[in-house]
């Protein structure tokens, strides 16, 4: 019987396997909590969590939208800055050698530790969270932009120059398009990081958002609510990821996603 199930699974696509895993995980969760009578303040059953989520859906939706908004602003700024830095580094070697190590170091540094200071500088509102999201997302984009532009060989550039192309034309028509697939890979990573940045930023001081919901639930020991927030966070992150993938399929379709 098991063997037949596995044979069937072999034919399914990756997404389908993932969905099946998700559903079976949910099933196992629901069954084991009831079966083993696990106390509600450790692991509430899935149905309780979903019920809690549903009853607080308005507030939760508001929280999700707030956090996503913060993350997106930071992400978009991070993409813009990352791409521009990448281009600048590719054109000016000295700039790269001076600043790139700092870009790298900036990521080994836990910005998160700066979080409290960011709040002092930027206040309790959306700006501070967006700043953290920006800080976390610009680096992968910069690195992949630089790497993507560098992937273009001298031969290809030489060819366009025989067509009389200017430096800007070469950048626009050759180097940037070549860099688009890796840039999108970086955006995928950056989106996840931006979301995390927004959430953690909210922990330092905020009135709305997923981070706030998580924190409040922790202090109030409201475990079902906490689980609801966890699930929502996971869902939000996944949706963001697939949105970026969809965008990539439209804009940089010529290379399969890595």
Beta-carbon contacts of 10 under 8 Å, excluding residues fewer than 6 positions away, are none
Assess 256 for contact with another protein (CB under 8 A).
no
Question: Would you say 123 or 167 has its CB closer to another protein?
Answer: 123
Span from 10-18, 80-88, 160-168, 243-251 in contact with another protein (CB under 8 A)? 10-18
Burial (CB count <10 Å: 0-12, 13-18, 19+), residue 99: middle
Q: What angle do CA 74, 75, 81 make, to 5 degrees?
A: 90
Assess 13 for contact with another protein (CB under 8 A).
no
Length of the chain (residues): 258
Span from 58-66, 77-85, 101-109, 123-131 in contact with another protein (CB under 8 A)? 101-109
Assess 227 for contact with another protein (CB under 8 A).
yes
Assess 244 for contact with another protein (CB under 8 A).
no
Cβ atoms of residues 20 and 37 within 8 Å:
no
113-116 LR contacts (CB < 8 Å, sep 24+): 115/200, 115/201, 115/203, 115/204, 116/204
Question: Would you say 38 or 247 has its CB closer to another protein?
Answer: 38
Span from 145-153, 163-171, 228-236, 248-256 in contact with another protein (CB under 8 A)? 228-236
Residue list 58-97, contact with another protein (CB under 8 A): 94, 97
Site string for another protein, 189-218 (x = CB under 8 A): ---x--xx--xx--xx-----x---xx-xx
Number of residues that bind another protein (CB under 8 A): 54
Using CA atoms, how far residue 57 sits from 23, 45, 60, 154, 174, in Å, is 22, 18, 5, 56, 47
Tokens describing residue 153: 């060989």
Distance of CA 95 to the CA centre of its chain: 28
Contacting residues toward another protein, per CB under 8 A: 6, 9-10, 17-18, 20-22, 24-25, 41-42, 94, 97-99, 101-102, 105, 107-110, 112-117, 120-121, 192, 195-196, 199-200, 203-204, 210, 214-215, 217-218, 221, 223, 226-227, 229-231, 233-234, 237-238
């Amino acid at each position: 019987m098991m063997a037949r199930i596995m044979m069937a699974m072999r034919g399914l696509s990756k997404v389908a396997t993932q969905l099946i895993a998700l559903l079976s995980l949910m099933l196992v969760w629901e069954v084991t909590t009831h079966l083993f009578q696990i106390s509600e303040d450790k692991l509430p059953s899935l149905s309780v969590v979903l019920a809690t989520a549903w009853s607080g859906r308005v507030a939760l939706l508001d929280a999700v939208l707030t956090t996503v908004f913060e993350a997106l602003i930071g992400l978009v700024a991070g993409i813009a800055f990352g791409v521009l830095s990448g281009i600048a580094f590719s054109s000016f070697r000295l700039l790269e050698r001076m600043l790139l190590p700092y870009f790298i170091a900036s990521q080994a540094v836990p910005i998160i530790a700066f979080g409290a200071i960011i709040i002092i500088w930027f206040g309790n509102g959306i700006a501070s969270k967006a700043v953290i999201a920006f800080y976390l997302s610009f680096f992968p984009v910069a690195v992949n932009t630089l790497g993507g532009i560098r992937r273009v060989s001298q031969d290809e550039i030489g060819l366009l120059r025989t067509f009389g192309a200017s430096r800007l034309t070469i950048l626009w028509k050759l180097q940037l398009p070549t860099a688009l697939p890796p840039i999108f890979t970086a955006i995928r990573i950056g989106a996840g990081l931006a979301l995390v940045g927004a959430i953690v930023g909210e922990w330092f001081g905020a009135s709305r958002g997923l981070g706030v919901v998580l924190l409040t639930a922790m202090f109030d020991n409201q475990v079902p609510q906490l689980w609801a927030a966890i699930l929502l966070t996971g869902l939000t992150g996944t949706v963001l990821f697939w949105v970026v993938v969809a965008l990539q399929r439209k804009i940089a379709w010529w290379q399969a996603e890595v």
